[in-house]
Amino acid sequence: MQTFDFDLFVIGGGSGGVRAARMAAQRGARVALAEVAAMGGTCVNLGCIPKKLYSYAAHFAESFEESHGFGWVGEAPILNWNTLKSNRAREITRLNGIYVQLLKGAGVHLIEGWATLVDAHTVAVGGQHYSAKSILVATGGKPSVPDVAGSEHVITSNEMFDLSPFPQRLLVVGGGYIACEFASIFNGLGAQVTQLYRGHQVLRGFDEEVRAFIASEMVKTGVTLHLNTDVAAIERTADGLQVRLLDGSHVTVDAVLYATGRVPLVAGLGLEAVGVAQNEAGAIQVNAQYQTSVPSIYALGDVTARLQLTPVALGEAMVVVDQLFGPAAGQAPRGMSYDFIPTAVFTHPNIGTVGYSEADAIEKFGKVRIYRSDFKALKHTLSGSTERTLMKLVVDDASDRVVGLHMVGPDAGEVVQGFAVAMKAGATKAIFDSTIGIHPTLAEEFVTMREPVKR
């Protein structure tokens, strides 16, 4: 019988890799984890956490302005960009340490360096070879920048948190959630932001009304939005970066952020040599148990390019651990459902959504009822802000089940998370209607919409 150095070797110390390594070790498995960068992956270091911290920072400018309507007087304070950067860096370092201690506390053997697959049961790191019964690839993704003249002058989301100096004029290229979030954040922090997207509307894949609504709200806050256009060339001049668009117009800025998508981080892993199948985009192909074409090698998270969300990677990690080492005592093996996964976009205002868009629901269920409310929140009756809130329900007419719930407004992610539980449980519109609202709140609108706006 073949013996191995480890029962599980995890490549990648992001959310999914750390969860899988820690839980497997707690089940008694001998686990190693290799990571070449700071522990925590994209989410902790260059994604969700720092982005949300900067989103909080960006909201203070509008909050100070709105406070005047509630009787507060005085000048708004001035942002110290360097203070924000250093405070964020300190918090991220603290989180890195927590991840390391969690892994060490569980008994995971940590290895610093770039890991490469040698064969179906062997990984090389820094010239050292390690054997493992099972290998898990959880290396995540990285920003993708298209080939454009002058691309050497652009930056990606990885560099946004430590820019020096603060970009007074920022061009954001892209229309996805990362592009929209950074446009909102830096607009709130005081930059003059221009966003351009080659499509007809930002946030492709979201509900059409949500897309139009958030675009309008972002423009109201000061973002200059150009649709149906793209960059032709970028050139450095004495006044900054001159960006020529396809229509012949120009914009001069201090920084150009390309947020045009992410690709799986697979280069240099040795996947091809070992025979791990990938799709055309490089994403590792897996089955329902996250097993690759090589039975002893598994993959999860962004490197498989299914749903690029941290909580999804965490859920997938638990499926792998249960599959390899059995479920925790008294529990059934976990599965992973991709239905009704809630998500938020931290634009200003926020977006929260779960379930089907109106168009997708019609395609899936046929006949649907749409409930919608668009209003000025109570806070803004005094704040002076023109911000509005959109709340929308999509109901399958045959079953009365709520199959889509969408919100654009403050703390939308916080609101939608609770409703996601109800929708996962199969809540009908009748159950929504029989639920008493909390007054006065934004969230109560979801249980007080009685008449459909269309069928």
Active-site residue list: 439
What is the b/e burial string over 346-376, where b = at least 16 CB atoms within 10 angstroms of the residue's CB? bbbbbbbbbbbbbebbeeebeebbbbbbeee
Place of tokens 């070797």: 9
Complete edge-to-edge strand list for the sheet that includes strand 231-237: 231-237, 240-245, 250-253
DSSP state at residue 454: B
The HSE-up count of residue 181 (CA atoms within 13 Å, CB side) is 24
Task: Please state, in angstroms and rounded to a whole number, the distance separating the CA atoms of residues 236 and 153.
Answer: 8
Tokens 């409930």 correspond to 371
Residue 327 CA, chain-centre distance (Å), reads 28
Q: What is the C-alpha separation between 27 and 29, in angstroms, rounded?
A: 6
What letter would DSSP give residue 283?
P
**Pair 415, 391: CB distance under 8 Å:** no
Residue that is written with structure tokens 């709200």 in the block: 217
Q: How far apart are CA 409 and CA 375, in angstroms?
A: 10
Amino acid type, 417: Q
User: What is the DSSP secondary-structure string of 160-215?
Assistant: GGG-SS--SEEEEE--SHHHHHHHHHHHHHT-EEEEEESSSSSSTTS-HHHHHHHH
- Is 78 in contact with 396 (CB distance < 8 Å)? no
Taking residue 149's Cβ as centre, other Cβ atoms within 10 Å add up to 12
